[in-house]
Amino acid sequence: MRIAVIDRNRCKVKECGYLCQINCPMVKTGREAIIIDKETKKPIIIEDLCSGCGICVKKCPFEAITIVNLPEEIGEPVHQYGKNGFRLYNLPVPKKGVVGIIGANGIGKTTMMKILSGEIKPNLGGEAEWEEIVDRFRGKEIRDYLERLSKGEIKAVYKPQYVDKIPDYVKGTVREILEKGDETGGLDELEKKLDLENSMEKNIEELSGGELQRVAIAASLSKDADIYLLDEPSSYLDVRERLNMALVVREISEITGKFVFVVEHDLIVLDYLSDYSHVIFGQPGVYGVISNIKGVRIGINEYLSGFLRSENMRFREEIKFEVRPPKEKREFIGTIFYPKLKKDYDGFKLEVDPGEFHSPEILGILGKNAIGKTTFVKMLANVVEPDNTKLDLKLSVSYKPQYIKPRDSLIASLNLNTELIQRFGLKFLLDRNMKDLSGGELQKVAIVDCLSKRANIYLLDEPSAYLDVEERLKLAKYLKKFAEDNEVSVLVVDHDILLIDYLSDELMVFSGESGREGYASRPLELKEGMNKFLREMNITLRRDPETGRPRVNKAGSVKDREQRKKGEYYYVG
């Protein structure tokens, strides 16, 4: 089976003169493997006539064409976005309990969610009526669900991925919005459990990303639905809020017995939250295949291993987590010492223990939102003056903020480093406006913008938001290389513990109460820092024996009790 996909945004016929068609050997011998659409004037590849030689792929100057050869039995075609468009194979299994969805960005997760919610009627790769659709899945667990969907008997609720856009289409105070949509009478409980008490009287436009996320989750879970579809519910939430959210979602699933599907890139949260999982594999923007349903541990492990056992399918190389022993003393090129720092402003107090960090080094920073992490770096950079001392370290800082406000300008107008453009795959975004980018694209542009500047310290605030698992781990690897090559310190604030565990040489832990007072430890050795942080979070982490990835222990389980007793909240070996 052959798939030919043309990215319509990249295809610029006026600038290339149909190089694909001119060079196609089938066309040259009179077989119309590439024709030109009369209306759009864009090429169409006729997959049945295409030999798969790949010449058009090489000739297209805008890398708009992808040709893939797939085994026939890859799956059941479910939906295709027009001729030479992205296509999705298979559907998930609605099961009582929480089903986690793991996969790269652009691989069909949103399409799958839209099909389950009834927003998209699957076209089976061409055109199809409901009768045929239901019939196609005869004997499969999804069949009854599709039949009910076709009769309008399924009420679905979808929590969107990009919560920052909510104030564009919903107006009013949080209380007004949530009370209006409360169909189950469960709002009071959700308000408490999701820590929304202090946000209820605020206007939706005043909310932080974390508050918006919690409001969106409360709005979804207070609806009386048959299926809840939650797209990246942990973005912008800090670690405690993530685990809290997971408990709330699990409870709703257990109490109501309704279907809950969650797309999530924080694997620790997904693991903690889900009973089952589906892996979606394929090629972003080209095709996606939904795997069989698996237990969540097996699903995540197979996803990381790149091999699906029951499907006997290798879809990429393995991602490994090194279990790192405590770091030996290294030679550093530079060491930055700072004294005790204090800052008191707008009702917020910050106290930072004296410490040192080095170059090259990655310093992970863990702590709640609004706890003084940015103020600390601004003090180092001499942008904010500490109250108790004068500090002029003569350090330049390049900063990527947590919330990225897209400017109304072309990406090309940013002064981005050419090598980084290649590495982060931004080449074809250069002629796009920042306002038109997806969350993941915007995140990558902001990271590259930050790393393109010359500085002594780079601070990346929540770089994982909207990036998928592979992108997160690639970023982590690259940041290590970047710090080494440029002999600089990279400070990474993130709430994805797996990412912080993967990339940090040392760890700084911020404690306290958001918006009131923050207390920062000195940079600690990774194990010591993780232990401190997890003790404060009141959770223990073990390592999965197969993959080495960290997993949250169930509260009160044998492992949890053992580790607490030994004071090993972070299990290294």
Site residues (vs ligand SF4, CB under 6 A): 6, 11-13, 16, 18-20, 24-26, 33-34, 43, 45, 50-56, 59-60, 62, 64-65, 67
Both tokens of 342, joined, read: 């204090």
The span from the CA of 342 to the CA of 40, in Å, is 62
Q: In the complex, what is the shortest distance from the CB of residue 28 to ligand SF4, in angstroms, rounded to a whole number?
A: 9
Residue among 154, 151, 155 nearest 130 (CA): 151
Q: Which is nearer to ligand SF4, 34 or 457 (CB)?
A: 34
Q: In the complex, what is the shortest distance from the CB of residue 2 to ligand SF4, in angstroms, rounded to a whole number?
A: 8
Return phi, psi of residue 379, to 5°: -70, -40
**What's the full length of the chain, in residues?**
573
Q: Which is nearer to ligand SF4, 59 or 114 (CB)?
A: 59
Q: Which is nearer to ligand SF4, 5 or 379 (CB)?
A: 5
Q: In the complex, what is the shortest distance from the CB of residue 283 to ligand SF4, in angstroms, rounded to a whole number?
A: 16
Q: In the complex, what is the shortest distance from the CB of residue 82 to ligand SF4, in angstroms, rounded to a whole number?
A: 15
Task: Please identify which residue in the block is written with the tokens 């590259």.
Answer: 448
SS3 at position 99:
strand
Residue among 325, 320, 310, 323 nearest 547 (CA): 320
Distances 488 to 337, 353, 523 between C-alpha atoms, Å:
14, 22, 16
Q: In the complex, what is the shortest distance from the CB of residue 429 to ligand SF4, in angstroms, rounded to a whole number?
A: 16
Q: In the complex, what is the shortest distance from the CB of residue 46 to ligand SF4, in angstroms, rounded to a whole number?
A: 8
The span from the CA of 219 to the CA of 184, in Å, is 11
Q: Which is nearer to ligand SF4, 83 or 114 (CB)?
A: 83
Task: Please identify which residue in the block is written with the tokens 């004294």.
Answer: 339
Q: Which is nearer to ligand SF4, 52 or 401 (CB)?
A: 52
The span from the CA of 152 to the CA of 330, in Å, is 64
- Residue pair 395/457 in contact (Cβ under 8 Å)? The answer is yes
C-alpha radius of gyration, the chain, whole number = 25
- Residue pair 547/304 in contact (Cβ under 8 Å)? The answer is yes
Q: In the complex, what is the shortest distance from the CB of residue 24 to ligand SF4, in angstroms, rounded to a whole number?
A: 3
Q: Which is nearer to ligand SF4, 31 or 95 (CB)?
A: 31
Residue 188 burial (CB count, 10 A): 10
Q: Which is nearer to ligand SF4, 38 or 138 (CB)?
A: 38
Q: Which is nearer to ligand SF4, 66 or 161 (CB)?
A: 66
Q: Which pairing describes strands 227-231 and 156-159: parallel, antiparallel, or unpaired?
A: parallel
Q: Which is nearer to ligand SF4, 33 or 154 (CB)?
A: 33
- Residue pair 398/450 in contact (Cβ under 8 Å)? The answer is yes
Angle among Cα 489, 265, 420 to the nearest 5 degrees reads 40
Q: Which is nearer to ligand SF4, 62 or 478 (CB)?
A: 62
Instruction: Report which DSSP code applies to 194.
Output: T
Distance of CA 550 to the CA centre of its chain: 18
- Residue pair 235/464 in contact (Cβ under 8 Å)? The answer is no
Q: In the complex, what is the shortest distance from the CB of residue 80 to ligand SF4, in angstroms, rounded to a whole number?
A: 18
Q: In the complex, what is the shortest distance from the CB of residue 70 to ligand SF4, in angstroms, rounded to a whole number?
A: 14
Q: In the complex, what is the shortest distance from the CB of residue 20 to ligand SF4, in angstroms, rounded to a whole number?
A: 3
Q: In the complex, what is the shortest distance from the CB of residue 41 to ligand SF4, in angstroms, rounded to a whole number?
A: 9
Q: Which is nearer to ligand SF4, 59 or 423 (CB)?
A: 59
The span from the CA of 247 to the CA of 467, in Å, is 23
Going by C-beta distance under 8 Å and a sequence separation of 6 or more, which residues neighbour residue 270?
100, 102, 262, 264, 277, 296, 300
